[in-house]
Amino acid sequence: MRFTGVTTRDRYRVATHVDCDAVPDCTVGWTLNGVPASASLLYNPPMNHPVFLVARPDIPQPGAYSHFHWLGVQAPLGHGAPGYLLQLAAIDSFCFIHHGAENAMADWTCRENGGVSVDAGADTATHPNLVTNRPPGM
């Protein structure tokens, strides 16, 4: 990730994902802990993470596993895929804006900028993409 140089009104430095091979001032935002798992792709919303169905007993406890990342080619809708359940722990505090961080305004709060306020420690808000029940009609 990269800090943009903007600090929000609520004192969070704005950060976003970047290609660290192309940007010299990248920094680590999180440590990750992953466990092998399988999940079914439910839907793939635009400008967001694909949403996966995970069996509740497959989510490790204790923990804060909130993201599933598949291995290889993404599975078709409704099909299971091997991958990892990920637990993210933020290294520091920051305002994470997934898309459009270059438009962040210093006189707005992190939330007003469309970001998620992150404090050091367990982070279940920036990358959640799993559910444990199929939505009605799916």
Placement of tokens 């359940």 in the chain? 85
pTM flag (> 0.85): yes
**Per residue of the chain (138 residues), what is the pLDDT tens digit?**
999 999 999 999 999 999 999 988 999 999 999 999 999 999 988 888 899 999 999 999 999 999 999 998 777 888 889 999 999 999 999 999 999 999 999 999 999 999 999 999 999 999 999 999 877 776
Place of tokens 């305004």: 105
Q: What is the domain partition of the chain in residue ranges?
A: 2-131
Cβ–Cβ < 8 Å for 119, 66: no
Alpha helices in the chain (DSSP H): none
